[in-house]
Amino acid sequence: MMQLDEIQKRLLYEVADLHAVPEGAYNIRSNSQSAGRRSTENIEIVSKTDVSGLEIHIKPGTKNESVHIPVVMTESGLKEVVYNDFYIGEDADVVIVAGCGIDNCGNQDSQHDGIHRFFVEKNARVKYVEKHYGSGDGKGKRILNPVTEVYQKENSSVTMEMVQIKGVDDTERTTKAELDKGAKLVVRERLMTHGDQRAISVYEVELNGKASSADVVSRSVARDDSYQKFDAKIIGNAECTGHTECDSIIMDNGRILAVPGLEANCIDASLVHEAAIGKIAGDQLIKLMTLGLTEAEAEEQIINGFLR
């Protein structure tokens, strides 16, 4: 494995909770180069030959295994597009940890666009964790534009954790999913913007099979002069259940736009959308301040609990 400096190690910890080489399969990418890779008996990682990216093949029946594919960038002005395809075999049960950390101390923008496609076979279960993080004192932006496509076969289950809490100047996250009979998708997004950052999240889920279901929930905080847009659409094409929710705290001069979208093309589709945007309640602040916290400390306590 390539030797990583302290900044790269810190980024790896922030986006993938890694202090050392992970157990199981992994591919670590650093400044557009492979910093290390390992396949296992049940999980094979191979490079694509036509574009930059990976194919990850997980054998049917694989249980209690994980694959880590984090990306770190520390060179100002570096821009890349990476295409990763995941093939999850029948009856597998795995954890996939991705994410990207950018440390930009220069004057040029640094950008990573990751396009991930998941092909989930019958009865397979996947937990997918994607964290984004930015740092550095340069004037150049830290830009991340992830695209995620999920294709779920009968009775499969996918749980996705999408986390962006600090340092990303501009992001457009696009997630699309198509679910067959009995398939289940759960998405939990946690997002915080500050300064003049911009974050756009777009979800489009098609429930095509009987008894398929989707639950897409976003919790976010917009601080300073930042802007957020949450655009979630669930399309019910069969007897199915769908729920999407946006719960946001707005602070300072922040702006938040929630765009609900429900499309029922079957009489037995049951679809629900919820949205709430508001400031921190005064009584919550007062209660914490009576315990000895300053107003700023009380705000941070409330935000941390909200985004947990």
Total count of domains within the chain: 1
Q: What's the token pair of residue 153? A: 């076969």
Q: What is the pLDDT of residues 248-274, one digit of tens each?
A: 999 999 999 999 899 999 999 999 999
Can you list the residues of the chain whose pLDDT is less than 50? Answer: none
pLDDT at position 20: 67
Q: What's the token pair of residue 145? A: 């534009």
Does some domain include residue 253? no
List Cβ neighbours of 185 (8 Å cut-off, separation of 6 or more). 150, 152, 157, 158, 159, 160, 177, 179, 205, 213, 214, 215, 216
Does some domain include residue 184? no
Report which DSSP code applies to 230.
E
Does some domain include residue 211? no
Indicate the burial class of 279 (C-beta count within 10 angstroms; 0-12, 13-18, 19 or more). exposed
Does some domain include residue 199? no
Does some domain include residue 259? no
Q: How far apart (Å, rounded) are the C-alpha atoms in residues 164 and 173?
A: 11
Q: How far apart (Å, rounded) are the C-alpha atoms in residues 155 and 134?
A: 37
Q: What is the pLDDT of residues 176-194, one digit of tens each?
A: 999 999 999 999 999 999 9
Neighbours of 216 (CB within 10 A): 27
Containing structural domain, residue 162: 1-168
Please provide residue 10's backbone torsions phi and psi, each rounded to the nearest 5 degrees. Answer: -65, -40
Asked if 125 and 156 count as a contact pair (C-beta separation under 8 A), the reply is: yes
Q: How far apart (Å, rounded) are the C-alpha atoms in residues 53 and 21?
A: 20
Pairing relationship of beta strands 53-58 and 43-47 according to DSSP bridges: antiparallel
Q: How far apart (Å, rounded) are the C-alpha atoms in residues 167 and 183?
A: 35
pLDDT at position 206: 98
pLDDT at position 283: 82
pLDDT at position 236: 98
Asked if 56 and 87 count as a contact pair (C-beta separation under 8 A), the reply is: yes
Our CA dihedral for 53, 58, 63, 65, rounded to 10 degrees, sits at: -30
SS3 95: strand
Does some domain include residue 50? yes
Report which DSSP code applies to 22.
P
Pairing relationship of beta strands 63-68 and 93-97 according to DSSP bridges: parallel
Does some domain include residue 175? no
List Cβ neighbours of 147 (8 Å cut-off, separation of 6 or more). 113, 114, 115, 116, 174, 175
Does some domain include residue 271? no
First-to-last C-alpha distance (Å) of the chain: 33
